[in-house]
Amino acid sequence: MQYINGHIEPNEGRYDSMRYNRAGRSGLKLPEVCLGLWHNFGDAAAMDRMEELIYTAFDNGITHMDAANNYGPSSGSAERNLGRILGRGLRDYRDELVISTKAGYPMWNGPYGDGGSRKYLLASLDQSLERMGLDYVDIFYHHRMDPDTPLEETVGALDSAVKSGKALYVGLSNYDGETMKRAARMLDELHCPFIINQNRYSIFDRTIERNGLKDAANELGKGIITFSPLAQGLLTDRYLHGIPSDSRIARDGRFLNSSAITKKRLEQIRELNDVASHRGQTLAEMALAWILKDGSITSVLIGASKPSQILDDIGALKNLSFSDDELRSIDRISLGNDAE
Range of the domain at 207: 2-234+283-321
pTM of the model: 0.94
Alpha helices (H) along the chain: 47-59, 77-87, 118-132, 151-163, 177-189, 207-210, 213-220, 248-251, 263-279, 283-292, 307-314, 324-335
Among 68, 66, 149, 139, which residue's Cα sits nearest to residue 103?
68
CA distance 16 to 188: 35
Domain count, the chain: 1
Task: Identify residue 334 by its one-letter amino acid code.
Answer: S
247 within some domain: no
Q: For residue 251, what pLDDT is reported?
A: 56
337 within some domain: no
CA distance 292 to 259: 29
339 within some domain: no
Largest CA distance in the chain: 62
240 within some domain: no
290 within some domain: yes
338 within some domain: no
- Calculate the CA 132 to chain-centre distance: 18
Give the pLDDT of the chain (340 residues) as one tens digit per residue: 776 666 789 999 999 999 999 999 999 999 999 999 999 999 999 999 999 999 999 999 999 999 999 999 999 999 999 999 999 999 999 999 999 999 999 999 999 999 999 999 999 999 999 999 999 999 999 999 999 999 999 999 999 999 999 999 999 999 999 999 999 999 999 999 999 999 999 999 999 999 999 999 999 999 999 999 999 999 999 888 777 766 655 555 555 566 778 899 999 999 999 999 999 999 999 999 999 999 999 999 999 999 999 999 999 999 999 999 999 999 999 998 665 4
265 within some domain: no
Query: E strand or H helix at 320, and its extent?
Result: none
CA distance 116 to 151: 8
Q: For residue 2, what pLDDT is reported?
A: 74
220 within some domain: yes
Q: Domain with 109 in it: what CATH number?
A: 3.20.20.100
Q: For residue 210, what pLDDT is reported?
A: 98
CA distance 327 to 105: 36
